[in-house]
Structure 1
Amino acid sequence: MPDLLKFLILDGHSVIYAWEELRKLHLRAAKRYLAREELLKRMRTLQDMRGERVVVVFDGIGTKISESREKDDVQVFYADAGHTADALIEQLAAKYAGTYAIRVCTADRMIWDGISASGANWISPDLLRHEVEQAESEVARKTGKKR
């Protein structure tokens, strides 16, 4: 039996608020976008090193759910104004957990039960940070660069 395709779905703002350096950027309105950019950069490294596809979901303000992704890049969703990122994460987990290996990273305890019931697994932002740091260290070893 072939290995299941693996996905890591992140509650983007939950991770930003859980990681102090990203939270500090996000709290400065003029620099808010830098927190998202740094999170996405670090998720690209994780995706490249682990082979697990990364999907980052943010709350949005538009009239419909929007999605962006370059070929082989991290996939980014913005929920529409009528839905939360949490609701979109739960929908994605419910729809795909039976077909793919799904992990969800959020600090929001309210969605843990929902994703668990769908068959997805939960990880904390702290565990995600550890995995990212390992991936970054591996890149540094392979390229001979310091982190």
Structure 2
Amino acid sequence: MADTSLQFVIVDGHSVIHAWDELRRMHAAGARRYLAREALLKRLRLYQDMTGTRVVVVFDGVGTKVTDEREAAGLQVFYADAGRTADSVIERLVAKYAATFAIRVATADQMERDTVESFGAVCMSPEELRYEVERAETDLGHRIKS
């Protein structure tokens, strides 16, 4: 039985970037496409801070090994190596941890959704993630005004 006191959202980074209009436009800007990734990470940091849900973001990468960047009390970001996809990294994380923790996966990829659900994760669309992020941003705005 999964420990629901610690909840995780694993985000398929490029899937969300391509699903959110403003991020997709940034990403299409060629040499400055990294700005889309930075904008997504900034919004997800706020979401994590406001909700207490741990956020793990996975991107496709080009290196020789999977890299894991952990921010102090912040997001955990994985970059797949050149021989793997972000999907395969997400699947491995879910297969390893879904029996221990409550995990949701944000992706638009139906095959990925089917796979991680078979391992015990719950899926959400990029639009559902956007709704939750916007709600956290609104909550922050209300706290600041109070």
TM-score, normalised on structure 1? 0.95
Structure 2 residue ranges without an equivalent (≥5): none
Structure 1 residue ranges without an equivalent (≥5): none
Equivalent position SS for 1:71: coil
Q: Deviations over 1:90-142 (max 9, x none)?
A: 11011000000000000000111111111100000000000000000000111
Mapped to 1, the partners of 2:137 and 2:145 lie a distance apart of 12
In structure 2, the partner of 1:33 is: 34
Equivalent position SS for 1:107: coil
In structure 1, the partner of 2:17 is: 16
Aligned residue identity for 1:143: I
Q: Percent identity?
A: 58
Mapped to 2, the partners of 1:134 and 1:62 lie a distance apart of 35
In structure 1, the partner of 2:46 is: 45
In structure 1, the partner of 2:114 is: 113
Paired residues of 2:10 and 2:57 also in contact (CA < 8 A): yes
Mapped to 2, the partners of 1:90 and 1:70 lie a distance apart of 22
Q: Which has the higher strand share?
A: 2
Paired residues of 2:106 and 2:124 also in contact (CA < 8 A): yes
The within-5 A match list for 1:1-147 is 3-144=4-145
Aligned residue identity for 1:62: G
Count of matched residue positions in the alignment of Structure 1 and Structure 2: 144
Q: Deviations over 1:37-56 (max 9, x none)?
A: 00000001110111110000
Mapped to 2, the partners of 1:70 and 1:43 lie a distance apart of 12
Provide runs of 4+ in structure 1 moved above 6 Å: none
Q: Deviations over 1:40-87 (max 9, x none)?
A: 000011101111100000000000000111211111000000000001
Mapped to 1, the partners of 2:38 and 2:145 lie a distance apart of 24
